[in-house]
Amino acid sequence: MAANRVDYHEVFTTKTITVCPRDRPPHAHEAKVIHLSNLDRKCPALMYLVFFYRSTPPLHGRQLSSASLFSSLKRGLEEAMSDWYPAAGRLCLAPPPPTGKINLACTNSGALLVEAATRATISDLGDLAQHNDFYERLVCKPPSGACFADTPLVVGQVTKFACGGYSIGVGTNHALFDGAANYSFLSAWASKTVGRAAEGQVELVEPVHERGRLLVCHGQSQVSLSKAADREGEMGGFMALDHLHQLIKQAVSANCIVPGGQLKLSEMDSTGHEHLVLRTFSVSASMVSRLKNKAASGSGGISCSSFEVVAAHLWKVRTKAFNIAKHRMVCLQFAVDARARMRPPLPKGFTGNAYVLSSVACTSAELEEASLATVVGKIKAAKQAVTDSYVMKYLAALNAAPQVALPPLPELTMVSDWTKTPYHSIDFGLGKAVFVTPLATPFPQVAYFMQSPSEAGRMDVRIGLPHMHLQAFTRYFLSAM
């Protein structure tokens, strides 16, 4: 931060309230338990976004007050949770016999909303795209070690800056929503807050909270899921977990084992990993066009999406920057939305987690020698491989996976595509956000592709990198464009 005075590092909480759904009969859903899928259970933690808004022009000669904004956000959240009522619930353990798995109890316990203020100005924060430890003070964090049964699934904090601008920090539990559903929920909250849908915002649809066909071992066994996939003739190699197993074996053979010798297949745990530096790289629309032209040129040219070509470029660059030995296997994994790939498709308003990992792997030497078009083609093929049966096998594999910890895997590049969820367009009554940033996640090494609020077609890429590789990655990533 530019400011050095201690005051600029302080955020003062002025109000904390619990917000419950409006216009629902008392205790309407309190007896209801939503059975979570194995996708929901992968990361039952609060994931945070911080929205930044510059000071708004006075309305009828008066500046929007913090109290007025807080009241509007409270009313909007009450109304939104009438349809999105699981957001007011709590996680709970599945019934006996004990499995350690969690479900979602619709307790109507409510979300938490905080009003705060700081003497800092937004300009004091510098480049909003770059991670700043101060951002951690702009969200409401339940006490560490709190029982998950007592922890809200949605928390919000509105902070007024000395310049008249605001931040709105929102945390939603990943067991409740995936990225697409989270965007729909926040859009619903914003539209209820301002009394209308913002221009360019997603169409609001009736949310569907039941997990349906994504449930495993709740009306459908792992064996039956495997048989269903087998009938489609796709029970051969299962890319995402097969590749992960191979990387783990490779790490074990090189004595890259976490303390205690344990492995973890179902979560990414950075314990024991080198500290990662979070950096955001801006990829302009012209840069994206140049990459696409490069992929389309020559005899093996191929047309592609912005995600496909930037993911291919990032995989090649990260592997080169990490100086991974030529004979080592390297892998790119990315999340694919399974909603439209299921048969029948999931409902349009499905609110649970519906993303599964797909995967591409080769040796470091093969990746270095491959053209951009070749790598893009492999990514396209991996996306197309995500079918209904692939999803069923993925769910069954998660159900059987042991809870063990991953060793450090520098050969694994992971990407999450947020370009279809333009969070900066969400209007809580302050116009479009000047920037929206995720806080550090449990998986800081993942590269997040986000729409830029400053230029159509521009992509912001946020990634965690070891400090020793940061300079090389920066040079390779930007110079090749």
Distance of alpha carbon 85 from alpha carbon 400, whole angstroms: 31
DSSP for residue 128: T
Place of tokens 């216009």: 23
With vertex at residue 174, the alpha carbon angle to CA 172 and CA 176, rounded to the nearest 5 degrees, is 80
Signed CA dihedral, 179, 41, 400, 221: sign only = negative
Distance of alpha carbon 255 from alpha carbon 147, whole angstroms: 36
Q: Which token pair is 275? A: 């500290």
With b meaning 16 or more CB within 10 Å and e meaning fewer, what string describes 84-117? bbbbbbbbbebeeeeeeebbbbbbbbbbbbbbbb
Distance of alpha carbon 147 from alpha carbon 149, whole angstroms: 5
Q: Are 387 and 341 in contact (CB under 8 A)?
A: yes
Q: Are 372 and 316 in contact (CB under 8 A)?
A: yes
Cβ-Cβ contacts under 8 Å for 399 (sequence gap 6 or more): 38, 216, 217, 222
Give me the pLDDT at residue 143, please: 83
Cβ-Cβ contacts under 8 Å for 34 (sequence gap 6 or more): 86, 89, 103, 104, 105, 106, 209, 210, 211
**Cα 396 from chain centre:** 23
Give me the pLDDT at residue 111, please: 97
Distance of alpha carbon 421 from alpha carbon 433, whole angstroms: 13
Place of tokens 């309190």: 30
Place of tokens 């591409």: 360
| 470-474, long-range: CB < 8 A, 24+ apart | 470/277, 470/279, 472/320, 472/321, 472/323, 473/317, 473/318, 473/321, 474/279, 474/281
Distance of alpha carbon 361 from alpha carbon 479, whole angstroms: 25
Give me the pLDDT at residue 252, please: 84
Distance of alpha carbon 62 from alpha carbon 69, whole angstroms: 13
Comparing CA positions, the residue from 42, 146, 140, 50 lying closest to residue 398 is: 42
Distance of alpha carbon 320 from alpha carbon 326, whole angstroms: 10
Dihedral angle at the C-alpha atoms of 283, 289, 290, 294, nearest 10 degrees?
120
Tell me if the bond preceding 344 is cis, omega within 30° of 0: yes
Distance of alpha carbon 356 from alpha carbon 339, whole angstroms: 10
As assigned by CATH, the class of the 237-479 domain is: alpha beta
Every domain of the chain and the residues it spans: 6-214, 237-479
Catalytic residue among 29, 174, 243, 469: 174
Give me the pLDDT at residue 222, please: 43
Same fold, 6-214 and 237-479: yes
421 Rama sector, left if φ>0, alpha if ψ -120 to 50, beta otherwise:
beta
Pairing of β 355-363 and β 435-438:
unpaired
Q: Which helix (H) or strand (E) holds 277?
A: strand 276-283
Q: Which token pair is 467? A: 């400090």
Pairing of β 447-451 and β 412-418:
parallel
Is domain 6-214 classified as CATH 3.30.559.10? yes
Give me the pLDDT at residue 429, please: 92
Q: Are 131 and 105 in contact (CB under 8 A)?
A: no
- pLDDT by position in tens, the chain (length 481): 444 443 557 999 999 999 999 876 555 666 689 999 999 998 999 999 999 999 876 654 456 789 999 999 999 999 999 999 999 999 998 877 667 789 999 999 999 999 999 999 999 999 999 999 999 999 999 887 778 778 999 999 999 999 999 999 999 999 999 999 999 999 999 999 998 655 555 567 899 999 998 986 544 444 444 444 444 334 334 678 889 989 999 988 876 654 444 444 433 333 444 689 999 999 999 999 999 999 998 667 788 999 999 999 999 999 999 999 999 999 999 999 999 999 999 999 999 999 999 999 999 999 999 999 999 999 999 999 999 999 999 998 888 766 555 667 999 999 999 999 999 999 999 999 999 999 988 888 999 999 999 889 999 999 999 999 999 999 999 986 6
Q: Are 89 and 27 in contact (CB under 8 A)?
A: no
Q: Are 242 and 380 in contact (CB under 8 A)?
A: no
Is 467 labeled as catalytic in the residue annotation?
A: no
At 369, the amino acid letter reads E
Distance of alpha carbon 117 from alpha carbon 164, whole angstroms: 10
Distance of alpha carbon 429 from alpha carbon 344, whole angstroms: 38
Cβ-Cβ contacts under 8 Å for 416 (sequence gap 6 or more): 179, 334, 335, 446, 447, 448, 449
Q: Are 333 and 240 in contact (CB under 8 A)?
A: yes
